[in-house]
Structure 1
Amino acid sequence: MKKGHLAWPVLLLVLLASCSRYDLYNWIIHQERDQAGLEPAMLELGDLSISYLRNQSPASGRTLLMVHGFGGNKDNWTRMAAHLPDGYRLLIPDLPGHGDSSVASPDDYTVEAQAATLVAFLDELGVEKVDMAGNSMGGGITVYFASRYPERVTSIALFDPAGSNRYPSQLDKALAEGNNPLVVKESGDMDNLLDFVLEKRPFIPWPLESVMEEKAIARQQTNEAIFQAILSSSEHLALDRILSAIKAPALIVWGKQDRVLAPENAEVFAQGIPDARVELLEGVGHVPMVEVPERSAELWHGFLQQHPRGAL
């Protein structure tokens, strides 16, 4: 199993050197990927350039596809990936408009379009079937993907998935008041966003947070377009029909202190998907794989062991 944490004493030595914040940011990101046995790669899908993480060494086990949430990127999964046993083939893309992937047109940001992009991504890599995980927006995309392309999915893991507003959240209240805490617009917004999204806030070195904020501010217009596309998708997609069409077994993991999507919505997904299991995590917010990466990996790996390939 890939274990270990960043060598922060070494980082302190680096901090003493004459490096820019962006140099330090890139070094820290590289170290975290290396701890997880991951490396970056890029592929072209028509007009889109898709950045993704993959295993540093070839793996012949089950292929795990991980889909991040709104405003996130492929590195949201790195810390959890470090706790998954060796042998899995890991594919962790940046969705269009996120991370290092190219910016797309507004029509490419809907749930349906994002799912189609993932199909093209897998086709380009020659991958027929995956075990899929998604967080937040990525969870909503995973749900749609599993219902629309059931032959491509062995199982799904949903980490605080988007898609149900039966039980309103603090985010819903903020949106009703004309405020979106998930979109970073000015200095200080990143710190507020992290406090809003994370209940168990992990240590984030100063260079990471400051560079993350600058990148998010630069992407404000793109993020607003993506958010509106996701909202419009949710308005016309019939969640009940989508959930009932899912044939794959589902693991639903939800932080009990989630302010973005109310944890009570876990029952909506559990009741709608024919074969579903729910795990509610005390003291955890909206992003379990960041807040409790080891526990998240343990839950997913255990679920995969209970649902071997070819069992469907």
Structure 2
Amino acid sequence: MPEARRARTRRLPKPPSIAPSSTARTSSAALPSADPPSGAWPGEEVPVEGGSVHVRTTPWAGTPGGPHERALYVHGLGGASTNWTDLAALLAVRCAGWAVDLPGFGRSRPLPGGSYSIRGHVRAVVTVLEHVRDQPGEGRGRPVHLLGNSLGGLVSLLVAARRPDLVASLTLISPAMPVYRVPQAFGRALLLLLLPGVPALAERRLAGVTPEQSVRGMLQMCFGEPARVPPERIEAAVAETRERAAQEWANQALTRSMRGLITSYLRVGRANAWRMARSLRMPTLVVWGDRDRLVDPRLAPRLAAAVPGARLLVLETVGHVAMLEAPEETARAVLGLLEDLDDDVTDGRAGLDGDAARAG
């Protein structure tokens, strides 16, 4: 196994259930080989308010008697459930996985009314979390590990703040936290999406982009080292983009979700994402690539400092989608967090047993 990249971290105070340092500890657990890359996991429709969303499932692949938990993965803007194929395969040593296509993305149709607001995505993810929690088998009824990237990271943070009872741990990979400077990779034209009529114009322009051009642009914008992407993953991305190009709602979902994201940045008070981050109490891991062109890596230590006890992993030469570009390093940091939760539970039980013995 290649050695995990060194993470640059910022030390934070210790909360009750987290290790003394905010350094993201990496697990040494044996992981399955990712060579050759596995194909996309199968999926099914899951009912949500007003319709359904497509959810892919990754079966648990742990050892008998070992941890058997559940995880839900939420993709970013323009992404899909397939963004999590490799990471879900690695984390299957501990967690059965569910990866959702947000409404209008991947194989999910838009919900009635065509709304792509952040609140709408939050409602959909809450419903899918409840679905995952209530599935029969090991782990039924227990909170779920929630992982989100970019737009999905922001949505996951808001879900965790509003429904902490559903979330066992939270992993945020380059989440699209509110900023008040437009990223250079987007340019000022992005703000035009707030104006009436402009999203429709953007949709028409997107319709003229070929799948190959779209994937090439995505690689240059989202990856720190595009040349390292396996050819199999590029071919799969082109095929998926062709499938998406046949969906009449695809470009609308992209431009209007972007508009919903920008609009959400204008919220103040309790609805502000930075304020909600400070309210989180579940174990949290923040992962960022130091070559992220879409969400400034300088936000990484700021977010880790905002979330009480959060751990921080900054990956060198990695861009916006660490779960695609550095799946093993990301998986080991997630597993390190979950393994330390096991230790906390064990220590707590030992303390209770000791108290009982002394009382007796």
Normalised-by-shorter TM-score class:
0.7 to 0.9
- Gaps of at least 5 residues in structure 2 are 1-30, 135-140, 194-198, 349-360
Select between 163-172 and 249-258 the one with higher mean Cα deviation. Answer: 163-172
- Residue 261 of structure 2 corresponds to residue 230 of structure 1: yes
* Aligned residue in 2 for 1:90: 97
Deviation at 1:233, TM superposition (A): 1.9
Deviation at 1:173, TM superposition (A): 3.2
- Gaps of at least 5 residues in structure 1 are 8-30
- Residue 54 of structure 2 corresponds to residue 54 of structure 1: no
Report the Cα distance in structure 1 between the residues aligned to 2:222 and 2:113, rounded to whole angstroms. 25
- Residue 125 of structure 2 corresponds to residue 118 of structure 1: yes
* Aligned residue in 1 for 2:285: 251
Report the Cα distance in structure 1 between the residues aligned to 2:92 and 2:59, rounded to whole angstroms. 14
**Structure 2 counterparts to residues 297-312 of structure 1, below 5 A:** 297-308=331-342
Report the Cα distance in structure 2 between the residues aligned to 1:280 and 1:57, rounded to whole angstroms. 28
Report the Cα distance in structure 2 between the residues aligned to 1:309 and 1:105, rounded to whole angstroms. 46
**Structure 2 counterparts to residues 182-193 of structure 1, below 5 A:** 184-185=206-207, 186-187=209-210, 188-193=213-218
Deviation at 1:281, TM superposition (A): 0.6
Give the one of 208, 219, 242 matched to 1:194: 219
- Residue 150 of structure 2 corresponds to residue 136 of structure 1: yes
One-letter amino acid of the structure 2 residue matched with residue 211 of structure 1? A
Give the one of 242, 259, 267 matched to 1:214: 242
One-letter amino acid of the structure 1 residue matched with residue 266 of structure 2? E
- Residue 110 of structure 2 corresponds to residue 103 of structure 1: yes
One-letter amino acid of the structure 2 residue matched with residue 41 of structure 1? E
* Aligned residue in 1 for 2:230: 203
Q: Secondary structure at the match of 1:71?
A: coil
Structure 2 contact 74–149 (Cα < 8 Å) conserved: yes
Residues 53-98 of structure 1 deviation map (CA, whole Å, 9 limit, x = unaligned) = 2234688712111111111111101111222252412111111111
Deviation at 1:260, TM superposition (A): 0.5
Select between 131-140 and 89-98 the one with higher mean Cα deviation. Answer: 89-98
Residues 99-118 of structure 1 deviation map (CA, whole Å, 9 limit, x = unaligned) = 11121256742222222212
Report the Cα distance in structure 2 between the residues aligned to 1:39 and 1:207, rounded to whole angstroms. 18
* Aligned residue in 2 for 1:272: 306
Report the Cα distance in structure 1 between the residues aligned to 2:160 and 2:42, rounded to whole angstroms. 27
The verdict on how the C-alpha distance between 1:159 and 1:106 changes in structure 2, with shifts beyond 3 A counting, is farther
* Aligned residue in 2 for 1:285: 319
TM-score after normalising by structure 2: 0.71
Q: Secondary structure at the match of 2:298?
A: helix
One-letter amino acid of the structure 1 residue matched with residue 170 of structure 2? I
One-letter amino acid of the structure 1 residue matched with residue 148 of structure 2? G
Structure 1 contact 106–225 (Cα < 8 Å) conserved: no
Give the one of 71, 75, 83 matched to 1:68: 75
The verdict on how the C-alpha distance between 1:177 and 1:158 changes in structure 2, with shifts beyond 3 A counting, is closer
Report the Cα distance in structure 2 between the residues aligned to 1:160 and 1:226, rounded to whole angstroms. 17
Residues 251-303 of structure 1 deviation map (CA, whole Å, 9 limit, x = unaligned) = 11100000000000112211211111111111000000100111111111111
Q: Secondary structure at the match of 1:72?
A: coil
Q: Secondary structure at the match of 2:225?
A: coil
- Residue 242 of structure 2 corresponds to residue 242 of structure 1: no
Deviation at 1:214, TM superposition (A): 3.0
Deviation at 1:203, TM superposition (A): 1.9
Q: Once the two structures are aligned, what percentage of the paired residues are identical?
A: 24
TM-score after normalising by structure 1: 0.81
Select between 55-64 and 219-228 the one with higher mean Cα deviation. Answer: 55-64
Structure number with greater CO (CA < 8 Å, separation at least 6) is 2
One-letter amino acid of the structure 2 residue matched with residue 263 of structure 1? P
Report the Cα distance in structure 1 between the residues aligned to 2:334 and 2:342, rounded to whole angstroms. 12
* Aligned residue in 1 for 2:16: none
Q: Secondary structure at the match of 2:35?
A: coil
Structure 1 contact 62–88 (Cα < 8 Å) conserved: yes
Select between 217-226 and 259-268 the one with higher mean Cα deviation. Answer: 217-226
One-letter amino acid of the structure 1 residue matched with residue 35 of structure 2? H
Report the Cα distance in structure 2 between the residues aligned to 1:286 and 1:157, rounded to whole angstroms. 14
Report the Cα distance in structure 1 between the residues aligned to 2:251 and 2:190, rounded to whole angstroms. 20
Residues 138-184 of structure 1 deviation map (CA, whole Å, 9 limit, x = unaligned) = 11011111111112112111100111316653235354586999995
One-letter amino acid of the structure 1 residue matched with residue 33 of structure 2? K
Deviation at 1:189, TM superposition (A): 3.3
